Amino acid sequence: MVENREKFAVLTCYDATFAAVLENAGVDVLLVGDSLGNVLHGSDTTLAVTPEDMIYHTRCVAHGSNKALIITDMPFGSYQISPAQAFEHAARIIAAGAQMVKIEGGRIMADTIQFLSQRGIPVCAHIGLTPQSVHQLGGYKLQGNTEKSAKQLLDDAKALEKSGASLLVMEMVPAKLAKKITQALSIPTIGIGAGPDCSGQVLVLHDMLGLSQGKKPRFVKDFMPGAKNVPEAVANYVQAVKTGQFPAKEHEF
């Protein structure tokens, strides 16, 4: 799809029913996100999500999916100690039905990503706002908005690609920087609050359906208004991503 310059649509997914609904509406990638800690468990952060949570929900999504690429987040504490620890948890996630795992962090995770990818586990890297590091970052804030931090994100992205990452998520990154990073890499990028020039876009399912509680992030759009049901709302999201209508200027940083 990227070689054909076709945008791809990603949504988080946590169960078999929605896996089928999202696939049938044209979603290309299902992300079993640790955001389940927020939208399913009701937590303020993703930090309490366990490997068992991720394995269970990966298995549920895999049962309902026939064709989409399934990526599963590795939860906090399951990969930071050592590459061997990361492999142990990643192997369980792959066995549950995922085709790829997602790891947060910059170049510090390069050795771990290389270790996994050399052993047959595809990895999606994640830079910018990394929710598992929310306390260290001082909250849910825009990243890469200074010359120094922008250079660091670009250098991180290049290092992660070199280490073997197959995809790169960028979250809450200025649109111009995300475009620069996308152009500098040969692997596809997925944006969430990172402007329109990434290879694909992702939103949390509950945000896209207008179900999340509390303050809505700037990069979120509710696709339920004007749709007669959930499948139509999802199809509208997919169409908006593929035609470049989403994200619009009001969703950028």
171 is catalytic: yes
Q: Is 102 annotated as a binding residue?
A: yes
Q: Is 34 annotated as a binding residue?
A: yes
Best CA proximity match to 78, nearest among 55, 44, 108? 55
Q: Is 104 annotated as a binding residue?
A: yes
Which residues have C-beta within 8 Å of that of residue 241, sequence separation ≥ 6? 7, 8, 9, 200, 201
Best CA proximity match to 58, nearest among 21, 104, 89? 89
Q: Is 156 annotated as a binding residue?
A: no
Best CA proximity match to 240, nearest among 177, 196, 210, 204? 196
Pick the catalytic residue from 171, 232, 250, 252: 171
Binding site for Mg(2+): residue ranges?
A: 34, 73, 104
Catalytic residues: 171
Binding site: residue ranges?
A: 34-35, 73, 102, 104
Binding site for 3-methyl-2-oxobutanoate: residue ranges?
A: 34-35, 73, 102
